[in-house]
Amino acid sequence: MDIRRARILVASAAYIFLLMLMYRTVIAPDFYYMGLWYVPLHGLSFLVTYTCAMLPACWMPLRMRRPSQLSYWVLYFIMFIPAITIPAHALEIHLSDLVPFQLALTMGFFLAGMGQWFRLITFPSFRISPTTFWIVFWLVFLAGYGYIINSTHANFVNGMSAFALGGNEYDLRGVYKKYGESDRLLQYIVDSEASALNTFLVGYGIVRQRWVLSVIGILGELFLFTVTGFRSVLFSTLLLLFVFFQLKRLHRSFALFPISFSAVIIGSRIMDKVAHTASVSSLFLRRLVLEPGLICGWYFEYFNANPKDFFSHSPILKSFTRSVYALPPANQIAAVYFGKPEVSANGNLFADGFAQIGFSGILFFGTALAIYYWVYDCVAKDRDWKIGALMLSVPSITLSNTAFFTALVSHGLILAILVQYFSPRSPDGTQANLETSYELEDEVPEDATVS
């Protein structure tokens, strides 16, 4: 076995162990009332659950050859592992139902990584000068914020002052919800600015050491937080910094990436101990990792026993299908498990796939994600790979708690491709395409490459 693969397997096992330890000893005792129970597994259920959780470590990329591989690794830690493990511990799902679900998730995640085995192509280029790109970028960027300010009457200074003087994010969300419910364009612009445009500015500024751009991107995220109250907006900058400081190592080996996520778990617990609270672990682990895994289990539990939705609430396909549900899947799950149909219990792309058409939906959206990754890599291959990897890391996280089509249109995945396509090419063409910068060695067999 390749020593790099052995290190990845050990590091991934350590992450799973620490995550489950925190879940059992910290999160479950404090948040069991939210459904985060911890019931020990035994025998076949234990074997299947943790074998499925570890299996992707056997095929995950050893080092970064393409920007999308960073996103694939992030989804392994924050989406796939919780979706496999948390429902097994927290829900009373019979083994005969649980095992097929876990195997389908594993196969879906495997399909999502298939794009890295296909040779990249060059799409017809529509080159514009860097000056033209930045003029158009700033016009779109400022027009978006102008619309947000005009629609919400937001004021950055007043918003931050109110928050500092005792306000909380729930107050901000309540105000934003009143505007967003009646203005879908506002929701789209906010999500696009947060997930794509600000991310590009922060990443571009960090990589090219143009700190003014990074500051503008960070201030843009803070402003959106004062408008929406969404903590995920604040997480994005922290994630970019977290990833950036590892990029130089990742194009040689991903072995340290699982260790970094384990360090976040340990660091959260240390901060909790110092502050005599569980708020840090709750913020980073419960909300970002564990709850989406539980919701994925709820989707399976409910739609395994009830009719599927068959895309009847999709803006594109609802004219061709009918459903027995008056509510979309996210609201239906919230109505059943929270008693609040007005709330959206958003599931990840695999949860939504199962809610729509069952097991085949998991495989379908795994394949769709692989196609998206391949298209993104084709577009980004002549650009700076660091900017490409950073830009995709934030919008891809939405896939852990958002349906694929929603993330594609509303949360910056398509916009990320467009920004990469029109952005200036790398000043050093020899380093832009990681796949030509490093030999593939044993990582991908010759017969696995498709022309």
Q: Residue 108: enclosing H or E segment and its boundaries?
A: helix 95-112
pLDDT digit string, tens, across residues 185-219: 888 899 899 888 999 999 899 888 899 999 999 99
Residue finishing a domain among 244, 276, 292: 244
Bridge partners of 118, per DSSP, are 450
Same domain, 239 and 258: no
The encoded tokens of residue 236 equal 């994005």
Question: What proportion of the chain, given as a percentage, has pLDDT over 70?
Answer: 87
Same domain, 48 and 17: yes
Same domain, 107 and 216: no
| pLDDT value at residue 143 | 96
For the ranges 64-73, 256-265, 355-364, 434-443, the maximum mean pLDDT occurs at 355-364
* Residue 427 confidence (pLDDT) above 70: no
| pLDDT value at residue 436 | 53
For residues 316-321, average pLDDT:
72
* pLDDT confidence band for 166 (50 / 70 / 90): very low
* Residue 174 confidence (pLDDT) above 90: no
∠ Cα 286 390 202 (to 5°):
95
The sign of the dihedral angle between the CA atoms of 347, 280, 60, 426 is positive
Task: Give the contacts of 16 (CB within 8 A, at least 6 positions apart).
Answer: 50, 53, 54, 81, 85
Residue finishing a domain among 244, 275, 308: 244
Domain extent for 214: 130-244
Same domain, 86 and 173: no
For residues 105-116, average pLDDT:
96
DSSP 330-381: HHHHHHHHTS-TTS-----HHHHHHHHHTHHHHHHHHHHHHHHHHHHHHHHT
- Residue indicated by tokens 């729509």: 356
Residue finishing a domain among 244, 278, 302: 244
The number of beta carbons lying within 10 Å of the beta carbon of residue 163 is 17
* pLDDT confidence band for 161 (50 / 70 / 90): low
Same domain, 282 and 178: no
Same domain, 419 and 280: yes
- Nearest CA to 352 among 413, 436, 296? 296
Decide which of 377 and 154 is more confident.
377
Distance CA 129, CA 146 (A): 26
| pLDDT value at residue 127 | 77
Same domain, 280 and 427: yes
Same domain, 286 and 141: no
* pLDDT confidence band for 440 (50 / 70 / 90): very low
Same domain, 208 and 280: no
| pLDDT value at residue 157 | 55
| pLDDT value at residue 329 | 93
* Residue 394 confidence (pLDDT) above 90: no
Domains held by the chain: number: 2
Same domain, 260 and 234: no
The encoded tokens of residue 91 equal 């829900």
For residues 55-71, average pLDDT:
93
* Residue 52 confidence (pLDDT) above 50: yes
- Residue indicated by tokens 């950073």: 390
Distance CA 18, CA 400 (A): 20
Same domain, 270 and 372: yes
| pLDDT value at residue 225 | 83
Out of 62-66, 169-173, 308-312, 373-377, least confident range? 169-173
For residues 345-369, average pLDDT:
96
HSE on the CB side for 320, CA within 13 Å?
6
* Residue 54 confidence (pLDDT) above 90: yes
- Residue indicated by tokens 């300010």: 149
The number of beta carbons lying within 10 Å of the beta carbon of residue 117 is 15
Residue 178, classed as helix, strand or coil, is: helix
Is the pTM of the predicted complex or chain greater than 0.75? Answer: yes
Task: Give the contacts of 106 (CB within 8 A, at least 6 positions apart).
Answer: 52, 55, 56, 84
* Residue 178 confidence (pLDDT) above 80: no
Q: Residue 78: enclosing H or E segment and its boundaries?
A: none
CA-based end-to-end distance of the chain: 28
Same domain, 187 and 276: no
